[in-house]
Structure 1
Amino acid sequence: MSAVPAPATRPDPRDLTGTGLDEAWVTDLVERTLAEDLTGGSPLPHAPDQAVAHDVTSAATVPATQRGTADLVARADGVVAGLPVAARVFARLSPSATIVAGAADGDVVRRGDVLLTISGHVRALLAAERSALNIASRASGIATATRAWVDAVAGTGAVVLDTRKTTPLLRPLEKYAVRCGGGSNKRMGLYDVAMIKDNHVAAAGSVAAAVAAVRERAPRVTVQVEADTVAQAVEAVEAGADFLLLDNMPPDVLRAAVAAVAGRAETEATGGLTLAVAREVAATGVDYLSVGALTHSSPILDLALDLRPA
């Protein structure tokens, strides 16, 4: 486990540099997430104090001028992700808040570690609490699960990939979390990689016809073809596929498919993969293992906010 650097070495915890997350997308996510909790989805008031006033519990029980400090704390061991987005949630409702990082995305943390420390108006901290935790817990859960897969195939040369099986409207965050866990992203959507599956082949008439049609319409796009058998894998690579999705093949068949392809296309194992067989599958020589469960089934990492009123 890597040691967590001292907070003094941390950059601004709200900085998105190096995350690959789009500034406008993150701003919109923060707005929508807070609006869901504070206004039932109606546009969030621009003025922070007006937005915070929608937290009926805190508005009734916390003096408007009361200040305090809150620690965002890990309640379980794991890999953290989404901290810059969580920090922006707090900053949206308390622009003058002081936010100090105790960890960075991608760090391995232990139960009890402080990930962020936020000092500001207590009403704002409490109004932002659940939205910030939901984002960071979800992203950290994905990063933690991804790291387990990456560790399972370490040394084999195989790379762990995600899929398009993401939570609607959260794909950039969830795929970022996969990267924080040491995995890689496959395609972001239907626009950046062509994935020819059985229905496309049926519509086009053959694998070769489907590949040719994609090449004609989108010549610069990577073309991936799904194969269920070694023969289909060979047919696809001979048709000009760049990438083969080897679907639900047992290890011995995967090994044969990799040998038959002989480096003419990249190979990806998918379908029915579990951590228990990850290393065996990786040892067949495939370039990638794609795991939909990283984004559709990872449990959250338990995080909490501990408040210290001034």
Structure 2
Amino acid sequence: MDNTMFIAAALKEDIGNGDHSTLAAIDKTAKGKALLKIKEDGILAGITLAQEIFYYLQPDTTFALYKKDGDQVQNGEIAFEVAADVHTILMAERLVLNCMQRMSGIATLTNQYVEKIKNYKTKILDTRKTTPLFRVYEKEAVRIGGGINLRMGLYDMVMLKDNHIDFCGGIEKAIEKTVAYLQTNNLDLKIEVETRNLDDVKRILSVGNIHRIMLDNYDLPTLTEAIQLIDGKYETEASGGINMNTVADYAATGVDYISVGAIINHAVSMDLSLKAQLV
């Protein structure tokens, strides 16, 4: 779904057959301005999308931008001033706030994780634990917060997880069938394989033909041993239950990536408001 499709669908969901509050109370020709007010410290995200929402409703909307995506912001600051028809401002208000609050919350939490491991080579990854039809914006917020997108969906990377392996009949068979499938279909996709123990790691190393090994729910000593076994032959990713209190300990093992579903699904929306600027 591109931005225009998303915006159209989201506005249709909210406006339906008309914004009757605005239609009843506000003259259709009225012009106005509003300020996007920041009411909580964090990392701002979603300004670009907010502009597109306003432009979709009224192409000649004008903005005075005081902040940009990725800025560290504080309670009391102003992100932007928008000037448009009052009907446009009131119809766009909730969608703009919903998107920006959600994205800013994700960017802020992601940045907190990134800061925790800034002295290590390890990078923070997101996952597919996202809100349906809002994934592209949640993942954009991760990037704004300093994280990295693991994959957008099932189509842009092969990830052989425990269920794939069990249904297929084992790690070796799953890898061999995947390599053959990619060759047959002329697909240039990276292969990541999930492991549950050191024996799984050893079996992958004996087969090869992959790009990254996921080390899922490993304790720190076992993770360290696994990374030593892999010895840089493939990228490594730690996952499973890693939180703000433990992320630095996992990064200290030398793992290349840590995937944290919580940066999206545990993020709390940032408090923002769009207020009329009275003149």
Distance 1:59 1:205 in 2: 62
SS in 2 for 1:252: helix
Aligned residues: 274
Mean Cα deviation higher: 56-65 or 176-185: 56-65
Distance 1:102 1:239 in 2: 54
Q: Please say if residues 237 and 265 of structure 1, whose CA atoms lie closer than 8 Å, have aligned partners that are also in contact.
A: no
- What is the match of residue 70 of structure 2? 106
Q: Please say if residues 4 and 56 of structure 2, whose CA atoms lie closer than 8 Å, have aligned partners that are also in contact.
A: no
- What is the match of residue 236 of structure 1? 204
Distance 1:144 1:183 in 2: 11
- What is the match of residue 302 of structure 1? 271
Q: Please say if residues 69 and 119 of structure 1, whose CA atoms lie closer than 8 Å, have aligned partners that are also in contact.
A: yes
- Among 53, 56, 59, the residue aligned to 1:89: 53
Higher RCO (C-alpha 8 Å, min separation 6): 2
Q: Does 1:224 align with 2:192?
A: yes
Distance 1:107 1:237 in 2: 43
Gapped runs of 5+ residues in structure 1? Answer: 1-23, 41-53
Distance 1:25 1:248 in 2: 36
Identity level (%) = 36
**Map 1:1-310 → 2, pairs under 5 A:** 25-39=2-16, 54-219=18-183, 220-240=188-208, 241-310=210-279
Q: Taking structure 1 as the reference length, what is the TM-score of the superposition? A: 0.85
Offset at 1:302? 1.1
Offset at 1:66? 2.1
Gapped runs of 5+ residues in structure 2? Answer: none
Offset at 1:70? 0.5
* Residue identity matched to 1:168: P
Q: Please say if residues 126 and 139 of structure 2, whose CA atoms lie closer than 8 Å, have aligned partners that are also in contact.
A: yes
Q: Please say if residues 45 and 103 of structure 2, whose CA atoms lie closer than 8 Å, have aligned partners that are also in contact.
A: yes
* Residue identity matched to 1:286: V
Distance 1:288 1:237 in 2: 19
Offset at 1:172? 1.0
Q: Taking structure 2 as the reference length, what is the TM-score of the superposition? A: 0.94
What do residues 168-195 of structure 1 show as CA deviations (whole Å, max 9, x unaligned)? Answer: 0111111111000000000111111111
Offset at 1:236? 1.5
Distance 1:198 1:97 in 2: 50
Q: Please say if residues 191 and 211 of structure 2, whose CA atoms lie closer than 8 Å, have aligned partners that are also in contact.
A: yes
Q: Please say if residues 94 and 125 of structure 1, whose CA atoms lie closer than 8 Å, have aligned partners that are also in contact.
A: no
State the Cα RMSD in Å. 1.4
SS in 2 for 1:72: strand
Offset at 1:203? 2.6
Distance 1:236 1:80 in 2: 41
Distance 1:214 1:89 in 2: 41
Offset at 1:309? 3.6
What do residues 242-272 of structure 1 show as CA deviations (whole Å, max 9, x unaligned)? Answer: 1111111111111111001111111111000
Offset at 1:138? 0.9
Offset at 1:64? 2.0
Distance 2:252 2:142 in 1: 22
